[in-house]
Amino acid sequence: MGCMVSQLASKFAFFPPSPPTYHLQKREDGKLTVVSTVSPVVPIQKAVEDNSLDILVVDTKHGNKIVAFYLKNPYARLTLLYSHGNAADLGQLYDLFVQLRVNLRVNLMGYDYSGYGASTGKPSESSTYADIEAIYECLETEYGVSQEDVILYGQSVGSGPTLHLAAKLPRLRGVVLHSGILSGLRVLCHVNFTFCFDIYKNINKIKKVKCPVLVIHGTDDDVVNWLHGNRLWKMARESYEPLWIKGGGHCNLELYPDYIRHLCKFIQEMENFTTEKRLKKIRQNVNLQTRSSIGSCCTCCGEGCCTLACPGCSECCCMNVSWSINCPECCKPGSCIKCCRLPKLSSCFGPCCCIRCSRPSCCVKCSMPSCCFPKCARPSCCCMSCFCCQSCLGKHKGKQNGECL
C-alpha cells in the first residue's frame, strides 16, 4: 500500500515539459549539439565549438541515459552541481546556467532527471537519486573534481536529490537549497510527522549534512511555503546566513538583485573556507563539547578532571584523553591518571562495580574477588593496581601480612 501511494505521489511531483524544449544531434566530428524548440540555439552551438560547454549522456544504475550540460569557467575554483525544479528542463535553464557560471565564477554541471528533456526513463524519487549519483561520479571520473570542491544546488524538488547526495558526502564544500521542501507530503498538507510513503524526506536528511547550508526562499511562495525553508535552515547542523526574499514567489527569485548578490557572497566565503580551516573549526567544537561533559575542575591545572578524586592524592596529572578502563562509571574521559586510572584485568569476568569506599585509605571496592590485585583476604575490599592503590597498600592502619582489613 505504501509503495502504491509513493508511486502516486511521484506522479503529482513531476511535470516534465511536454514536448521537451530541446533534443540532441550528433555532429560530423562526433560531438553532441542541442537543437532547441523554444530559443535560439546559436549560443549553445557556439559554446560547444569553443569548448566552454560539454554535452554529456550519462548512464545511471537504473539503466537510464540522462543528459547533462557542463559549463566551464577558466577562472573557477569550485563546481556547482545544479538540480532543477519539477517543471523545467535543460533547454529552459541554459541561459540561467550561463549567468551563474559568469557571475559566481564557477564551473556548472546541470542535468535532466530521467524522463525529462532528452533523458530516457520515467521520473521517480529513486530515479532522481540514481541520476545525481551518476552525475557526481561523472564529475569525479571525467573531470577530476573532488567533493571538497563541489557545491550542491537544489531548487524545489531538486532539494531532494541534493540532500540525498549531501548526506553521503562528509567533505562537501557547501549546499544551496533554493525554495527547498521538507518532504513531498508536507507541501500538500501541514503534518508534524513523517509517513513511510512520503517522498523526499529532507526533514530527516538535513541533519546529516556536515557542510555549510545556504537556504534561499521567497516569503510569498505559494507553492512551497516559506516555513519549509525556515525549518530547513534551523535544522541544518551548520547554517549559513539565509536569504529570505521579501515578496519573492516560487519561480522568480533569480530576478531579484539580492539573489545573485547573496550567492556571490556565499561562493566567495566557500572558496576561502579551506579544508584546514574547516578541520580546525570541527576540532574546536569537539573540544568545547568534551570540556562541557567533563566533571569538576582540577585545582592544579584548571582542566576538567575526574569526578571521584582520591583523598590520598595530593597531586593531579590530567590528560584530555579517554583511557580504556573496565569500569567506565568510575572515571570519565579526561580523568586524573594518577588517582583514577583502572587498568584492564583479564581475570575479571563479571561486572565490576567500582564505588567509593568508606575508608579513605582504600581507593575502590569491588564485588568480584577474582579481580583483586594483590589478593585480599577480604572479598569486600579489592585493592586494584591503580597508582593510588599501590601506594595505599603500605598505609593501611590495620594491615596484617599484606592484607587489607
- List, in order, residues 6 or more apart from 143 with CB less than 8 Å away: 70, 79, 107
Decide: residue 190, CB within 10 A, 0-12 exposed, 13-18 middle, 19+ buried: exposed
Give the separation between CA 354 and CA 327, rounded to whole angstroms: 7
Q: Which residues are catalytic?
A: 156, 221, 250
- Cβ proximity of 80 and 86 under 8 Å: no
Phi and psi at residue 62, in whole multiples of 5°?
-85, 0
Phi and psi at residue 400, in whole multiples of 5°?
-135, 110
- List, in order, residues 6 or more apart from 304 with CB less than 8 Å away: 291, 294, 295, 296, 297, 298, 318, 334
- Cβ proximity of 21 and 91 under 8 Å: yes
CA dist list (Å): 4 to 62, 135, 185, 196, 381: 19, 28, 14, 12, 66
Q: Which residues of 55-72 are buried (b: 16+ CB within 10 A; e: fewer)?
A: beebebebebebbbbbbb
Give the separation between CA 111 and CA 165, rounded to whole angstroms: 15
Q: Which residues of 154-181 are buried (b: 16+ CB within 10 A; e: fewer)?
A: bbbbbbbbbbbbbbebeebbbbbbbbbb
Is the CA virtual torsion 181, 185, 191, 194 positive or negative?
negative
Q: Write the secondary structure of 262-294 as one string of H (helix), E (strand) and C (coil).
A: HHHHHHHHHHHCCHHHHHHHHHHHHHHHHHHHC
Give the separation between CA 330 and CA 307, rounded to whole angstroms: 8
Decide: residue 255, CB within 10 A, 0-12 exposed, 13-18 middle, 19+ buried: exposed
Give the separation between CA 355 and CA 342, rounded to whole angstroms: 12
